[in-house]
Homo-oligomer: A and B are copies of this chain.
Amino acid sequence: MSIQEIGLDVAAGTLRALGDPVRLRLLHELAQRPGGESCVCDLLGLVELSQPTVSHHLKVLREAGLVASERRGTWVYYRVIPEALQPLSALLASMAEVSGTAQDCR
């Protein structure tokens, strides 16, 4: 297995974390907040889900390396990690570039 393929497996794991409507909305909301961060209490209002469910999705995003969390007093703040999104964006962009002409099977 090449290094490239290992990278693809990692990328697939991160994309899987993004491939849920709730998590994508949470991340998208974080991204448009000033500083790319928000406390959990504000995120709870975005989706009609229980607090443990939202906490679960945030954990998935955190374990995927897409967000980081920090406790400040009573509240916990989550923030986007742009460096995690950039290579994924680049990967998708590269796969959208088709070169050359199609060839038949033989």
* Chain A positions near chain B (C-beta within 8 angstroms): 5, 8-9, 11-21, 23-25, 27-28, 31, 33-37, 39, 41-42, 72, 75, 77, 79-80, 82-83, 85-86, 88-90, 92-105
Q: Which residues of B contact A75 (CB under 8 A)?
A: 105
Inter-chain contact A31/B98, CB cutoff 8 Å: yes
27 contacts between A and B (CB under 8 A): A8-B28, A9-B21, A12-B20, A12-B23, A15-B19, A16-B19, A16-B20, A18-B19, A31-B95, A31-B96, A33-B102, A34-B99, A35-B102, A35-B103, A37-B102, A80-B96, A80-B98, A82-B97, A83-B96, A85-B92, A85-B96, A86-B96, A88-B92, A89-B89, A89-B93, A89-B96, A92-B92
Inter-chain contact A101/B34, CB cutoff 8 Å: yes
| Closest-CB distance, A33 to chain B (whole angstroms) | 8
Cα(A94)–Cα(B77), bound, Å:
21
Q: Please classify the interface of chain A as helix (H, G, I), strand (E, B), loop, or mixed, using the class held by over half of its residues.
A: helix
